[in-house]
Amino acid sequence: GGGYYHYSYAIVRGCDRVVPVDVYVPGCPPTAEALVYGILQLQKKIRRTGALWR
């Protein structure tokens, strides 16, 4: 998105440029299945690393 303001100094091109992102969920808006898939991926990552915080 961004439209007219796409290249403006006030627009950030993605939240992953500002905050760390662990799981990406596709869709706008995401489907229920995509949300469930993202939650399951996050659960696997937490189990694998054993950490909840960075």
What's the pLDDT tens digit per position in 1-52?
Answer: 567 777 787 777 788 888 899 999 989 899 999 999 999 999 999 999 887 6
What is the pTM (predicted TM-score) of this model?
0.66
Domain-embedded: residue 7: no
Helix (H, G, I), strand (E, B) or coil at 47: helix
> Omega into 29 within 30° of 0, i.e. cis?
yes
Residues of the domain holding 30: 22-54
CA 40, CA 25: separation in Å to the nearest integer?
11
- Look at the chain and report how many structural domains it folds into: 1
Q: Which helix (H) or strand (E) holds 49?
A: helix 32-49
CA angle 52, 54, 48 (to 5 degrees): 50
CA 48, CA 54: separation in Å to the nearest integer?
14
Domain-embedded: residue 2: no
pLDDT value at residue 30: 93
Domain-embedded: residue 46: yes
